[in-house]
Amino acid sequence: MDTCSINSKVNLSISELIAVALSSEGAVICDNGALVVKTGKRTGRSPKDRYIVKDESTCSSVAWGSVNQPFCPEKFKSQWGKVNGYLNDRVSYESSLQVGASVDFGYNVNIKTEKAWHSIFLRHLFISDNKKNIPQSKTWELISAPGLLLDPVEDGVNSDAAVILNFSEKKILIAGMRYAGEMKKSMFSALNYLLPEMGVLPMHCSANIGEDKDVALFFGLSGTGKTTLSADPKRALIGDDEHGWGPSGIFNFEGGCYAKCINLSKNKEPVIWDAIRYGSIIENVVLNSDGEPDYTDDSLTENIRAAYPRAYISNKSDANSGGNPSKVFFLSCDLYGVLPPVAKLSPEQAAYYFLSGYTAKVGSTEVGSTSSISPTFSVCFGEPFFPREASVYADLFMNKIAETGAEVYLINTGWTGGAYGKGGVRFDLTTTRSLIDAVLSNRISGFKKSSTPYFNFDIPESIPGINPEVLDPRLGRDEDSFDRDAAALAKMFRDNFKRFSTQEKIKSAGPGDSV
């Protein structure tokens, strides 16, 4: 760190940090032993308050705009001094951690936080055992001062809080934000900028590995099932959110999980349920009179989250990595009930739907979102976290698919039998798990063209134990209403894809404008 304060507590144990959080930070322990915290008015990410320092190294390599907002280097220097001065006047908590379970592509991260529970969070989400010998030259600094509120006029920001990344100085500054997800996502954004130059594809995806060492990836936004579906009792978890795809395969960026807990139950999600215990952190959950978490209560937010280390997962990949994936799943929560529950994509379709990143906002992780559900497109299934142009990530993805022969599947975890709010129901978790298991175990006998107009999908002819009508979304529905929904969704895809300048064969792989 730039300065050393006599108030700094360095590398406290988890139990010592928990004691501080209980005594002075308003945290409580619930009946399962987890630490329960509240994050105030910000219960999700604040994308309008995220900035990247614009200087000689980033001016032509960052996709500047509403996602990647530029910040003045001189202003950053001022803010860094201000936040460090604030932390030095208070008790703060420091740790030396790592991101990226790879000796070649990992980075050291020195953290300094105002909140003890933030330090616990990062000890879980980043890699704390530091077994990889990462050179000191690859060291970042992250400071977080949630109690310091900024002045938009004086500090050159949009509100009383900010997340600012400085790639030239390897620094991340966070002020005014208690929501812990900002810290992990800021370092994810840093890796998303750094790794493509090394030929590594950074990915917003979960990953697991089977007994035969076959690796599967699950891309998706919040609420699509990325964490839940990768937590498969029959397969070892690599990670639930952020990975790199390098020359020799997949490696996790993190050392823990940050799972969404709305409507969590032991029967449906036993891996996540069992991981929430002493040492884990639950954000913004409501407790009942017996001190038990009520995961159905969304009065504070739908974005209830649990943070826990991979050590709390019995069935995990000890290496925190794996080989090249054989199966890749795009999880899309379709509000229109048009997309099939499973479809096999051609390489061109894979590129098209990777760039599109279609899903629905379900319990959004962003501040300012409402409880209403709406369709959205997020480039590469993670637009808020990618500093470079979309083509950089799309080209890397296509190259990886071509090099490895990995199969890509679109999975609809959204609605079937009708559109959202118009008679449709959401696919239940058991059905989706069965479909993914059929793909992973190669139990699909063959494929045929879907009857869905505008969309040229290959869907399974049959899957043992699955009603054939479920596999083709047009079956069992009023054809006129289905065709209207299909036309509306196809148009949304085409309109969204106008922003991309890419090969014609990829553009033509998307939905057409006629049946």
Chain mean position to CA 375: 17
Which of 45, 171, 184, 235 is catalytic? The answer is 45
Which of 42, 123, 185, 400 is catalytic? The answer is 185
Phi/psi at 329 (nearest 5 deg)?
A: -115, 130
Given this model, what pLDDT does residue 131 score? 64
Confirm whether 75 is a catalytic residue.
Answer: no
Q: Which domains does the chain have, with CATH numbers?
A: 8-41+50-198+256-312 (3.40.449.10), 219-253+320-507 (3.90.228.20)
Given this model, what pLDDT does residue 370 score? 42
Residues 6+ apart with CB under 8 A from 172: 140, 141, 142, 143, 163, 164, 165, 166, 186, 187, 190
Positions in the chain whose pLDDT score sits under 50: 3, 364-371
Give the pTM.
0.92
Question: How far, in Å, CA of 346 to CA of 236, rounded?
Answer: 28
Confirm whether 365 is a catalytic residue.
Answer: no
Confirm whether 222 is a catalytic residue.
Answer: yes
Which of 43, 92, 102, 227 is catalytic? The answer is 227
What tens digit of pLDDT does each residue of 306-316 get? 999 999 998 99
Confirm whether 124 is a catalytic residue.
Answer: no
Helix (H, G, I), strand (E, B) or coil at 352: helix
Which of 214, 240, 241, 334 is catalytic? The answer is 241
Confirm whether 204 is a catalytic residue.
Answer: yes
Given this model, what pLDDT does residue 501 score? 84
Confirm whether 90 is a catalytic residue.
Answer: no
State both tokens at 118.
């933030």
Nearest CA to 464 out of 480, 448, 441 is that of 441
Question: How far, in Å, CA of 277 to CA of 479, rounded?
Answer: 49
Confirm whether 305 is a catalytic residue.
Answer: yes
Given this model, what pLDDT does residue 349 score? 96
Confirm whether 185 is a catalytic residue.
Answer: yes
Quickly list H helices, 91-223.
Answer: 116-125, 152-155, 181-194
Given this model, what pLDDT does residue 362 score? 63
Given this model, what pLDDT does residue 514 score? 74
Given this model, what pLDDT does residue 366 score? 46
Given this model, what pLDDT does residue 368 score? 45
